[in-house]
Chains A and B, each alone.
Chain A
């Protein structure tokens, strides 16, 4: 099962933690909102991605599995 990152743009408040924790996947635009590479995550990236999602103060960073589930 593959996982992808997605942001809930309504919940996101541009804290920028995600880009700190996952710079290889996430950069920030000129206003501080995340630009996310939504390609499936490699197995080795999963742990950091989970950490980034958990670190988001507004729970706006979502890790979605191809089955449609979120965590």
Chain B
């Protein structure tokens, strides 16, 4: 907390900074609809910090100073893995060859909206972070990756990139990077880092066997920095206001604020900016309170973990607070399940979807996730042999750690956590089959199925 102000902070002095410790930070001035224009963005946040013209040293030293500042800030990646951003940047900066920066806005977690909220409404905050990151790793190209079905995000980022190109000052000093947009197919694993690299190199958007990792050999075999959109939005603000400012919010292990997507039976589901360590109760209150009795909360999305209602009262939203519950924030998804829904039917439905979203490259993932989904389906319908939950646990152990990417591990985590949190409900279904709640509409969101051909009715 007492780190001396760096070149980056000094460069930012005199800028109208937001009051310390106040929220919102990222979402400050967010338009009620449409995107914040470049002019308004610069008016609110100030221009990009002018690294090259700050006091001393060459561009390389300045880039190093920025990574140092990010290290002091303690910023962790917001795509789900919570990896230290400065460490990643340093690895890319230290690798041989000219770097590329990839903005990961693919956001394939069905219940997450924070990346598209940033891209649709605050695209210049994301671009600021990407340009600064390119400077930090000496990259000459920024590729913004957006899911092809997120049309509003694609449009907004394309417009924002156009605005930057028409206003060279907005690209920063020195040699500004080229900015371009790439769309990515709508599959769950398409947002995985190695899948993005493969897609950008003209291959299928499926994970590859690692190493090499993207930081050493990524797009066009060049060192590639892949950061989540929210991570880069924080970079944009830390470069302006400094690490001590960033750390005025959050916990020691997870400093700063975070964007969470809250869904389920609350008055106003949506994206909220919270301070890490804030209580779940305060998040629900900010969303207008619960509209129904809550059975459990799923933290971290469909690779995440359930926490039962009886334990929700004391839950604080940071990874160190969630660890004793076996949970972590992941990409910031918080889903509330009401008492109305059947947790077994919901688990069966999501498990089936997770199996179908396998990239179908690794045998244990393909066979294991389908067997898991089938077994859970059998349990839900009361058609499973006795002790079928032991079969689920056995299958889970056969799947974990045996894929090229983390998808099977995430799916298994979700399934095992459901089995534990809803033990009584699973036992009830195993004995008696479907319950009354099974007949009610599903609560957990899944993407709509894409049909290959329009139905006859639609064609007329």
Q: Which residue numbers of A lie inside 8 Å of B, CB to CB? A: 8-14, 29-33, 35, 68
User: Is residue B352 contacting chain A, with contact meaning CB distance below 8 A?
Assistant: no
Which B residues are CB-close (under 8 A) to A12?
A: 362-363
A–B Cβ pairs within 8 angstroms, 5 of them: A9-B209, A29-B398, A31-B368, A32-B363, A35-B398
**Contact between B209 and A11, CB atoms less than 8 A apart:** yes
**Given A31-B367, A33-B364, does the pair A9, B402 have CB atoms closer than 8 Å?**
yes
Which A residues are CB-close (under 8 A) to B362?
A: 9-10, 12
**Given A10-B208, A11-B209, does the pair A33, B404 have CB atoms closer than 8 Å?**
no
Which A residues are CB-close (under 8 A) to B282?
A: none
Which A residues are CB-close (under 8 A) to B365?
A: 9
Which B residues are CB-close (under 8 A) to A31?
A: 363-364, 367-368
Most chain B C-beta atoms within 10 Å of own C-beta, residue among A13, A14, A31: A31
Could you tell me the distance in whole angstroms from the C-beta of A46 to the nearest C-beta in chain B? 22
Which A residues are CB-close (under 8 A) to B211?
A: 68
Interface string of B361-376 (1 = CB under 8 A from A): 1111101100000000
Q: Which residue of A lies closest to B207 (CB)?
A: A10
CA distance in complex: A12, B211 (Å):
17
Could you tell me the distance in whole angstroms from the C-beta of B372 to the nearest C-beta in chain A? 13
The answer, among B208, B209, B363, for a CB contact under 8 Å with A33, is B363
Which B residues are CB-close (under 8 A) to A8?
A: 209, 404
Most chain A C-beta atoms within 10 Å of own C-beta, residue among B209, B211, B361, B404: B209
| A-facing residues in B348-402 (Cβ within 8 Å) | 361-365, 367-368, 398, 402
Total B residues in contact with A, Cβ cutoff 8 Å: 15
Which A residues are CB-close (under 8 A) to B176?
A: none
CA distance in complex: A13, B361 (Å):
10
Which A residues are CB-close (under 8 A) to B368?
A: 31
Majority secondary structure of chain A interface residues (helix, strand, loop or mixed): loop
**Given A30-B398, A33-B402, does the pair A10, B361 have CB atoms closer than 8 Å?**
yes
CA distance in complex: A11, B361 (Å):
8
Q: Which residue of A lies closest to B364 (CB)?
A: A33
**Contact between B398 and A9, CB atoms less than 8 A apart:** no
Q: Which residue of A lies closest to B208 (CB)?
A: A10
Which B residues are CB-close (under 8 A) to A9?
A: 209, 361-365, 402-404
CA distance in complex: A37, B209 (Å):
19
Could you tell me the distance in whole angstroms from the C-beta of A10 to the nearest C-beta in chain B? 5
Most chain B C-beta atoms within 10 Å of own C-beta, residue among A10, A29, A33: A10
Task: For the complex of A and B, list the 8 residue pairs with the smallest distance between their C-beta atoms, beginning with the closest.
Answer: A9-B362, A33-B363, A31-B367, A10-B361, A8-B209, A10-B404, A10-B209, A9-B404
CA distance in complex: A9, B208 (Å):
10
CA distance in complex: A30, B397 (Å):
12
Which A residues are CB-close (under 8 A) to B404?
A: 8-10
Which A residues are CB-close (under 8 A) to B403?
A: 9
CA distance in complex: A11, B365 (Å):
13
CA distance in complex: A46, B207 (Å):
30
Could you tell me the distance in whole angstroms from the C-beta of B195 to the nearest C-beta in chain A? 12
CA distance in complex: A29, B398 (Å):
8
Could you tell me the distance in whole angstroms from the C-beta of A31 to the nearest C-beta in chain B? 4
Q: Which residue of B lies closest to A33 (CB)?
A: B363
Which A residues are CB-close (under 8 A) to B207?
A: 10
Most chain A C-beta atoms within 10 Å of own C-beta, residue among B364, B365, B398: B364
Q: Which residue of B lies closest to A11 (CB)?
A: B209
List 16 other contacts, CB 8 Å, given A29-B364, A33-B367: A8-B209, A9-B209, A9-B361, A9-B363, A9-B364, A9-B402, A10-B207, A10-B208, A10-B209, A10-B361, A11-B209, A12-B362, A14-B363, A30-B398, A32-B363, A35-B398
Could you tell me the distance in whole angstroms from the C-beta of B409 to the nearest C-beta in chain A? 12
